[in-house]
Amino acid sequence: MLWVFVIFTLFNANTMIAESAVLDSTKANVVLENANGKSRNGSSNIGHHLDPSDWDDYRSQMHSLLDECCDRMTNYRKLPWKVPPADLRKNVAIVSKDVGAGSGRPLSDVIDQIVNEIMPHATGNTHPQFMGWVHGAGIPSCVAADLVGSTMNSNCGGRNHGAIDVEIACIEYLCEKAGYKTNPTTIPFGVLTTGTSQATIQSLLCARTKKFGYEVRKAGIRGLPPVRVYSSGAVHSCIARAMECLGHGSDSVVSIPVDPLTGKIIVEKLKESLEEDKKAGIAPLAIVGIAGSVSIGAYDDFASLADLAEEYDTWLHIDAAFGFWSRLSKDPKILGLTENMDRADSIALDAHKWPGVQYDCGAIIVRDKTHLRNTLATRPTYLQSESEGLASGDTWFTDYSIDLSRGFRALKLWTALQVAGDDNIGAAITDNCDLAAYMGELVSSSSVFELATPVLSNICCFSIDPSVRLADGSTVPNISKIATKLQIEGNGVFSLIKIGDKQCLRAAIVNHRATREGVAKAVSDAEEALGGILNA
């Protein structure tokens, strides 16, 4: 009977296995049916919740939008800044009960609003007579990079993918242009940032770990002595803001006087300040040199600053937001402005300024890759690298940055450098400096304006000649009225700056579309605007 029992058991087991396989197959078919159709609650499961339901229609709309963008780029020279309409903010507001914020709107309707209501009201920095602030003019080739970068949607914090290699190529290029060289103990490196402001925070973090050791990352600043950062009075506000972010406060930044003719920091005054603070027990955290001051486009003496940094065992950082790119000029005078820049421990720069790369794209580069990594790297277990697969890769940029999620901004810089090339970008930079000098000549020959300071690079600042008076003999009203009138009428953009006790119009020429005719017109329009004020 035993053998009968065994046969019966095996038969039942096989039957159960067969039935189980049928059930599993049925379940799988149900899953596939649901995946290709509707779930039990009726929602779609075909994976296009946020994708277009009609890709051909999407393609057609995108082609039309690209034509609109190309039309705008073609007409950049005819499109100055204009005042946005008063109801624009109301028109673009997103209210949760509205269709747009709830069930959504057709892409075609949204594109129409973008093209007709939003795109016409840009900053105006693509226009050749935008000279007020240091805003890059944009390069059409970078529009292609933005399109592809958005399509790829890469997170450049790390992992093994092509965008990382493109960013490494950009960083190596920047290090080469800075004059940084690999030696037996250090390798230059860096990371792309949103801009110089972010790069400055990371640079001063490096200065702090260099001064006090990597333990400060955990222990914080409570046990540290007071610190000081030294720079000229023309330093950008991002230095003070960085020190606020680091917890030391903006009072830790001291302004050293500059030579009124050259705009360079007075090295003797800097040394005096270093000595005084040393006696007072204040630690020198960093010296900040400037390559292209915001006010007048001055460049510091980097060799002298580097000597002092070595003598007082402190970090040398260079704010080269726009001035870094003068290294591409073939004019010896302009190229010489950044001589000895390679002696800096860190350099912050923007690609979205003088080269014209679309916003945003900045960088920090350093002489010592290992120190940058040791200052910033933080790897939780879920971000551990692997030897193979997507989680591999020898460079994770989050180890060199305060960001983890990072866009593919490198593609814009890479594209600009590939299409335009060093020679053309350098020629535009040389031309901008020549145009600033030309504006200086026009102002010097003007009967109503006077130069506020010599033109040192690409910035020209001028004020109303003190001999100019209103009809009743009183002084001319604030020069800001001239700047505002020109902007509103679409006749060029100047910004305002105070040099000494004089309020000045400031032209910072970084636009590759700027011309001699445009510069002459800007000065002529400014004279005409002043004349209108005088006659009124």
Q: What is the pLDDT along the chain (536 residues), one digit of tens a residue?
A: 444 444 444 445 454 444 444 445 444 444 444 445 455 455 555 556 788 889 999 999 999 999 999 999 999 999 999 999 999 999 999 875 555 556 788 999 999 999 999 999 999 999 999 998 999 999 999 999 999 999 999 999 999 899 999 999 999 999 999 999 999 999 999 999 999 999 999 999 999 999 999 999 999 999 999 999 999 988 889 999 999 999 999 999 999 999 988 999 999 999 999 999 999 999 999 999 999 999 999 999 999 999 999 999 999 999 999 999 999 999 999 999 999 999 999 999 999 999 999 999 999 999 999 999 999 999 887 788 888 888 888 899 999 999 999 999 999 999 999 999 999 999 999 999 999 999 999 999 999 999 999 999 999 999 999 888 877 777 776 889 999 999 999 999 999 999 988 899 999 999 999 999 999 999 999 999 998 888 87
Per-residue pLDDT, 142? 97
Q: Are 156 and 406 in contact (CB under 8 A)?
A: yes
Per-residue pLDDT, 468? 86
Distance CA 533, CA 179 (A): 50
Q: Are 484 and 469 in contact (CB under 8 A)?
A: no
Q: What is the DSSP letter of 472?
A: T
Q: Give me the DSSP letters along 334-375.
A: HHGGGTTGGG-SEEEEESSSTT-PPSS-EEEEES-HHHHHHH
Q: Are 194 and 228 in contact (CB under 8 A)?
A: no
Number of helices (H) and strands (E) in the chain: give both, helices first: 17, 11
Domains of the chain: 55-119 (no CATH), 148-382+389-419 (3.40.640.10), 424-535 (3.90.1150.170)
Per-residue pLDDT, 35? 47
Q: Are 338 and 323 in contact (CB under 8 A)?
A: yes
Q: Are 479 and 502 in contact (CB under 8 A)?
A: no
* Cα four-point dihedral sign 241, 246, 251, 254: negative
Q: Are 299 and 458 in contact (CB under 8 A)?
A: no
Per-residue pLDDT, 321? 96
Distance CA 376, CA 401 (A): 6
* Cα four-point dihedral sign 530, 531, 532, 536: positive
For 69, half-sphere exposure in the C-beta direction (CA atoms, 13 angstrom radius) is: 17
385 CB-near residues (< 8 Å, 6+ apart)? 158, 391, 392, 393, 396
The secondary element (H helix, E strand) that includes residue 189 is strand 189-193
Distance CA 105, CA 430 (A): 48
Q: What is the DSSP letter of 253?
A: E
Kind of pairing between the strands at 315-319 and 283-290? parallel
> How far is CA 511 from each of CA 206, 262, 383, 506, rounded to the nearest angstrom?
33, 24, 42, 14
Strand order in the sheet with 315-319: 189-193, 362-366, 346-350, 315-319, 283-290, 227-232, 253-256
Q: Are 45 and 39 in contact (CB under 8 A)?
A: yes
> How far is CA 324 from each of CA 46, 181, 248, rounded to the nearest angstrom?
51, 17, 28
Q: Is the peptide bond before 360 cis (omega within 30 degrees of 0)?
A: yes
Q: What is the DSSP letter of 44?
A: B
Per-residue pLDDT, 55? 94
Q: Are 360 and 352 in contact (CB under 8 A)?
A: yes
Q: Rounded to 5, what percent of the chain is helix, strand, coil?
A: 50, 15, 40
- Please tell me whether residue 461 adopts helix, strand or coil conformation: strand
Token pair, residue 337, equals 């402005």
Q: Are 407 and 150 in contact (CB under 8 A)?
A: no
